[in-house]
Structure 1
């Protein structure tokens, strides 16, 4: 009897995905159907922003972009990260040591079998990437590892 109880407990523990931690689609100011997002986004943008996918490392031209400006959500244009907070992490994805407060939402992701802090656009819920505690020690110590395809870049001269 004890063995059966342990097996059932183990199955329950390892099958919990922690979806209660994920933001609900209704938590965001901009909500659209899957068909509407598909019509507006490229295939890769849809895969990353709406399906929580990941682009290949070193595939984004924004990884090596060092111009002055703001990185905005590719789906809704919400400002997410400032260029002065970008750094070269060597990981192959655009990395920032902080977000624009209030414009990025966080949840817990268990997709790889352990807890990671996932980042979303706070306006439309688009998946951006993950935040880790291995960033620059002289600033925040955070590394916001962001899919470049989830971002658009706006130079300072093009800001309103």
Structure 2
């Protein structure tokens, strides 16, 4: 298992800053994740999220008896080739709007990305190199990396 730091978003961060932090973290770690699950409940009903939900349709399971799509997309990364970039764009559009999204890493031993309750609860497990990259992305956006803090 790799050495990594448990992080979260500072209470000082605005919703827009939280969204930017979640996007920066997810963009940075996406290629290191083995799987990603996102809850799509009630997200397909608005024009600004409908396209992203539709892009994730191939990753939705089916209920056992009704054969309807489930409310979550379960994405196995690294197995979909070129689709990963398209899927990442869809996930980024929903990152802080969903009730739950979680990214898993075998190398890190579990959840490396967890954003729940429309971005009000965030958890990230980042290696030193990933943290440096995220900090750079935040600086490029004119944000302070100090908004990403150790998990209490």
Please, what TM-score do these two structures have when normalized by structure 1?
A: 0.24
Higher relative contact order (CA 8 A, sep 6+): 2
Higher helix share: 2
Greater Rg, structure 1 or structure 2? Answer: 1
TM-score of the superposed pair, with normalisation by structure 2: 0.24
